[in-house]
Amino acid sequence: MYKLSTGYSKKISKADEAAKQLIIEIMGEEKTGGFDIDSIYHFPDNSWLILEFLKCETVRPFDSHPNRYWFKNKQKFISLWNLKCDLNDSSLILVNYEDSREQFLVITVEDLDSVEGITKEKKLQMDFNQFKQYFISLNKKARGF
């Protein structure tokens, strides 16, 4: 097992979409077996957190759930779950959000079935300020604070 260094990373100042755009250009009309992951955290206690943001456009975050569109995106969630299972002491958290930033639904996935979808979970409903504090606390934990 390797040990990742703890400490500071650079401040996030803008989205870097260059790599994603390169993949789109290379793949053209071909389907890809990969996907991007929004964030992976490695904590000082050697636990891991996979964090995936899910933008809600037609249904508000508190009312939306990955199982609603399982047939469309199941491979992404199955792959995220498999990664979670491959990492020792890890968690998978999905975050439903919307452009208005009024609602955030934080879903901690506890079990998943490739046919049924997410079968066990914990959900937290938050507003922007609550989610902001939650997210900042995750970052502090990852930095060892």
Banded pLDDT at 30 (limits 50, 70, 90): confident
Q: Are strands 117-126 and 104-113 parallel, antiparallel or unpaired?
A: antiparallel
Q: Which residues contact 42 (CB under 8 A, 6 or more apart)?
A: 4, 48, 142
> What secondary structure does DSSP assign to 78-133, as a single string?
HHHHHHHHHSSSEEEEEEEE-TT---EEEEEEEEEETTTEEEEEEEEEE-HHHHHH
- Give the model confidence (pLDDT) of 82-94 as tens digits: 999 999 899 999 9
Determine the pLDDT at residue 92.
98
Domain 36-142, what fold?
Diaminopimelate Epimerase; Chain A, domain 1 (3.10.310)
Which is more confidently placed, 7 or 141?
141
Unique residue bearing structure tokens 């097992």: 1
